[in-house]
Amino acid sequence: MTKSRRKWHAETKACANIALAKYWGKADIPLNLPAVPSISMTLDGLVTETRIRVDETLDADRVELDGREATASESKRVIALLDDIRRRAKRREFAHVVSRNRFPTAAGLASSASGFAALASAADHAYELGASDRVLSAIARQASASAARSIYGGFVELPAGKPGQKSLAAKPLFDADHWDLRIVVAQTAKGPKKVGSTEGMERSRETSPFYDAWVAKAPAITKRIRQALRKRDLDTLGAAMEQSTMAFHACAMTAEPSIFYWQPATLAAVHAVRQLRDEKGLSVWCTMDAGPHVKTLCHADDARKVRAALKKTEGVLSTLVAKPGPGVQTR
């Protein structure tokens, strides 16, 4: 039977996510399994749009990213995911992938999370695999652990993996409407980060004297965050998120050579957030990923004040506000 060509394409939107309980370190590099559990909030404002068309006439995959031909290393990661989907779907045809991040790529705003979540879902549709969200999450995780979480909306947990573990998927904890929180992002630098996450994690594992302590402590911090989310207790959640953030950055900073993701404006924004807490009594908390930007967590009602304070912080280039967002959407 000839398959209907109409189905061999798909368009997907996926949102990036911000880790409240941070992911830093791998338990198994080839299988891309995290050494620590993480919890994230999917962000409605930071979107990747991916189109895929399976094309029998192509003799190789074609990948476009942000309006240009993808580099060899970018294409390699995309093709590895497509190969996985093709293997599972027992299909051979190549595909044309066109993806656009509606926010800066590779700059510490989690483009790999939304990028690979979108790709997994789009490829699943285009190759007519029909995988469950759980399977898609496990497929996306192999490309980027944080992408496993972006399959789902709201608040999502990715457990730690064990070396050699066959499959590991994220699981949704609470829907987007569970809690009306906001993340205010303060962009503090332009351009891609100098040390990619994978390299930074490996260097931390191999050389930081704090790595083992971080891995040992992370499950307890994650548990506090999960419980605080359930109870909608922002003071407890925020304090635990800051501890998770500082612990992983301490680990990176004490690697050899040191990995330092912060800029002067990063620290300025952290202090601005503390000032809002100490002097204005706002429940506002900050976190930074493997990059210089500061993401602050607060109640929806406080987002305007937080944004105004960050806007006038020296070195902050731009700000944006995101609320809990949906999981992948494909058509």
Distance in Å, CB of 276 to ligand ADP, minimum: 26
Judged by beta carbon, residue 115 or residue 238, the one nearer ligand ADP is 115
Ranked by CB distance to ligand ADP, the top (closest) residue is 115
The amino acid that residue 132 corresponds to is: S
Distance in Å, CB of 226 to ligand ADP, minimum: 23
Judged by beta carbon, residue 74 or residue 157, the one nearer ligand ADP is 74
Distance in Å, CB of 232 to ligand ADP, minimum: 28
Judged by beta carbon, residue 31 or residue 239, the one nearer ligand ADP is 31
Distance in Å, CB of 244 to ligand ADP, minimum: 17
Judged by beta carbon, residue 24 or residue 152, the one nearer ligand ADP is 24
Judged by beta carbon, residue 147 or residue 309, the one nearer ligand ADP is 147
Judged by beta carbon, residue 51 or residue 230, the one nearer ligand ADP is 51
Distance in Å, CB of 115 to ligand ADP, minimum: 3
Distance in Å, CB of 301 to ligand ADP, minimum: 29
Interface residues toward ligand ADP, by CB under 6 A:
48, 65, 74, 77-78, 99, 101, 105-112, 115, 119, 196-197, 291
